[in-house]
Chains A and B, each alone.
Chain A
């Protein structure tokens, strides 16, 4: 049975239910046990299982290192990075260990870990608490990056991530935590590596993840009034991308807009654009468009943060540009 839950409630429920089912799953991170997490995502777990929830020192390298080693022994750690920006301090553990253990151990063992990382801007917290870090990890074969947009996805993708035998960086956009949506009460799993066609259309393919999906859905409704039909694809797994679903859509519509919160240079929008230009150039009716942040750090002053982050109007403008080429 389904009922309304917040995005944060859906994550919390996924953890409780999966831990109930599988005693090898445990959580660790800064303030995740007694306090239940800085954002309250892990509340109630320590009370239920005092030996399966661990408050760590401020030691991200130790958190990820411990997770990697424990995973090789068959445990399933779910680590929290209070802010995804902290990937910088445990980068070595993620890219040189998590990503490579399956390769190193010939598939006999792997870093089956989930790193829950609180990502994204819009909360007026400046450049060390607002970054979109996915491109930092997207040319490291062996990693998986998952990015839910709705409470339904948050629960199912987290369960899928915990059960997946690869290291998963599970991105939680902090602006989505209070978003409400239908979530089944029972435990369910959404398959990784599969994009979701959120809305079908015939004129423009719009790829959008996390908070950008909201822009895409609003733009699709607005464009419809102008007689323009937008197909929306939510990748859900940002890396490795579900290339086929995106290609099939662009081959159909001939127009591509990627709405991506982070800076323009070397983001996943660039990768999607390259895939399209390389493989299905002949299907394009207009140059592809990337709606992204400016190539700056994320500033603090609200007026400046809004100036830097992609805005809804930018999406509308991009739609008009690809339609009038």
Chain B
């Protein structure tokens, strides 16, 4: 499927935004400004941007630990700077700096956040998928119409995540109850240093879903048009109560597992091969060669994104740290935990 040119143009801009976002995050992680671990998704932009594009704002998104792209794009434009300042551990962050890179969430945008444990959100996602399923079954307020679409939940997971037992429990239950879920399996080939063929017997990980009679697909995760098409199909099936879908997006992370990992476990030439298949390059080529966009128009998008990104960085650098004593807030609801 080919996207309308305006839509391809829009998602190209999204991908440029998250590419630049990640590059700046990497820079400030490397120079020590950002504390802790940073897992970058440079090279995986199409899968991140495409899935978010295919969903509604009101659908639930569970990004994974390499999910800055989906996180940023899930939030409305005015809150994207707060996603960055969260990663900078600042008070202005969407979670006031308490979560950081691995836990950025924005409930209003139904970005439910990641929890730091591989496979953990794969079962938590059952619950958000269950919500509209339950309300509709019980004809609760707002859900009396039996033709009303369910809210979709998309949970991102990696090729390594599939080794976790939660994946079985989640898919088994979601498939049996026909919950509105999409398993977005981002196959970037490596779980830290271990290639997916060294930890799974399947040649294609998508075949794992077939044992649960779940429609399962493998697509080029660097081709944003393919990503959007298959995700929209899956979302439509979920909304209509026809159950979950597994999509394996084939892609590649350009950086090491964490910012600073030299990724010496990769064979020579592999990265270069994937860089030639860069999702931004592919989209740009199509925009220029098929849709007739000029180099000047492309450059203008980059300039516009650059201005935004520099704004996010400035905002993040200038934001204050949270108050230390706020660490005791929200441990419990309606109950105070003593500070020092």
Contact = CB atoms under 8 A, between A and B. Distances in A.
B166 interface: yes
A62 B123 contact: yes
B330 A65 contact: no
B178 interface: no
Interface in A132-150: 141-142, 144
Query: Most chain-A CB neighbours within 10 Å: which of B95, B96, B117, B123?
Result: B123
Contacts of B172: 57, 59, 62
B272 interface: no
Nearest to B328: A141
B64 to A, nearest CB: 15
Interface string B252-291: 0000000000000000000000000000000000000000
Q: Which range contains the number of A residues in contact with the other chain?
A: 35 or more
Contact of A92 (B99, B120, B331): B120
B330 A59 contact: no
A70 B332 contact: no
Contacts of A240: 332, 335
Given A51-B138, A62-B170, A97 B105 contact: no
Interface string A193-205: 1000000000000
B330 A107 contact: yes
A93 B107 CA distance: 19
B126 A69 contact: yes
B234 to A, nearest CB: 19
A286 interface: no
Given A61-B166, A61-B169, A70-B128, A165 B334 contact: yes
A260 to B, nearest CB: 24
B35 interface: no
Contacts of B124: 65-66, 68-69, 93, 97
Given A51-B134, A61-B165, A110-B333, A104 B115 contact: yes
A15 interface: no
A96 interface: yes
Given A51-B137, A57-B173, A69-B125, A96 B329 contact: no
B134 A57 contact: no
Interface in B115-133: 115-117, 120, 122-131
B337 A102 contact: no
B103 interface: yes
A93 to B, nearest CB: 6
B169 A103 contact: no
B96 to A, nearest CB: 6
A226 interface: no
Given A69-B131, A70-B128, A73-B131, A93 B331 contact: no
A56 B134 contact: no
A57 B127 contact: no
A61 B140 contact: no
Contact of A74 (B120, B131, B166, B335): B131
Q: Which range contains the number of B residues in contact with the other chain?
A: 35 or more
A166 B113 CA distance: 19
B331 A141 contact: yes
A75 B134 contact: yes
Interface in A141-173: 141-142, 144, 164-166
B173 A62 contact: yes
A93 B333 contact: no
Contacts of A61: 123, 165-166, 169
Nearest to A165: B333
A67 B173 CA distance: 13
A106 interface: yes
B176 interface: yes
Contacts of B134: 26, 51-52, 70, 75
Contacts of A59: 169, 172-173
Interface in B75-124: 95-96, 98-99, 103, 105, 107, 112-113, 115-117, 120, 122-124
B127 A68 contact: yes
B331 A142 contact: yes
Interface in B166-206: 166, 169-170, 172-173, 176
Contacts of A71: 127
26 contacts: A51-B134, A56-B173, A59-B173, A61-B165, A61-B166, A65-B124, A66-B130, A69-B112, A69-B128, A70-B130, A73-B131, A75-B131, A92-B166, A93-B124, A96-B116, A102-B333, A103-B98, A103-B331, A104-B105, A106-B329, A106-B330, A107-B329, A112-B333, A141-B337, A193-B335, A240-B332
Given A62-B170, A65-B126, 5 more contacts: A65-B124, A93-B124, A104-B113, A142-B331, A166-B332
3 pairs of A and B residues whose beta carbons are closest in the complex: A69-B127, A65-B123, A165-B333
